[in-house]
Homo-oligomer: A and B are copies of this chain.
């Protein structure tokens, strides 16, 4: 990717060093494994790890980051661009000392497909009464319950970017009545689209299963609260509305979710994200009978696809092209 093509275009811009600032913990976020992948796709570009004692910050042109510590990027005085290795950039944007260079979000088809898998799986699990069926199996009870068809259920998706639009299309193909809501007006073929605060009320009123894929911004922080939950439709065959949040933990008011599950305002919830991650062992979400919990793995980043994406962007950029998916700091994502 950065190979021969990069050599030919070296006159346009020098081949900058790529530094990896990766904090994580799980296997998927081993800095050494990421370095091996980037070495593979940037064979003639220096790729350095933050932990490398001989790393001179002034030689670094690009930073590829995962959960960098606040202030950590300020040391790199010659940065040309920052690549975030996931879709959400809220934490990075909160770093006031972030160098004033383009911040690039990941947007690869692989990530979109994975999120659609998660959304379709969890919508179907609630729709098809999976928690009840697992309980029946544990109790050895052959007890089929009335099962409505997908056409009897309205799914509402908050956030109609690449991820929301793809999930909406697949859910509609399966037979659900699908609508979407976004900050600004969007049009999606065959999907009823609402937007802005003016459109929120009507969107919520027709929604049985609420799927949240919003970016976390000043406008969306804590948007999933009792006020929203009480306005969801209460006459679906599901009995009570369902919440699925695969966006960001900061979008949800967790005390409200727990209270609304307990008083029946919500019937159940699938949560992939939390305000504190890893979720503390004493969180009531773990053992709540109405919660289906996943450890922020709805749309894992595929290291191979992401490293190729970053390498391609850098090569194009050094050849005089524009960076894609650059974060708009005014909009907030």
Which A residues form the contact surface with B (CB < 8 A)? 26-28, 110, 113-114, 116-118, 120-121, 124-125, 127-128, 130, 133-134, 136-138, 140, 142-147, 149-151, 170, 173-175, 277-279, 281, 286-287, 292-297, 300, 302
Contacts and interface: CB of A to CB of B under 8 A. Distances in A.
B149 A26 contact: no
B26 A144 contact: yes
Contact of A117 (B143, B174, B281, B297): B174
B286 A144 contact: no
B117 A121 contact: no
A110 B140 CA distance: 29
Contact of A133 (B110, B170, B294): B294
A248 to B, nearest CB: 16
A121 B122 CA distance: 9
Contact of A113 (B113, B146, B151, B287): B151
Contacts of A297: 144-145, 147
Nearest to A274: B142
Contacts of A128: 117-118, 121
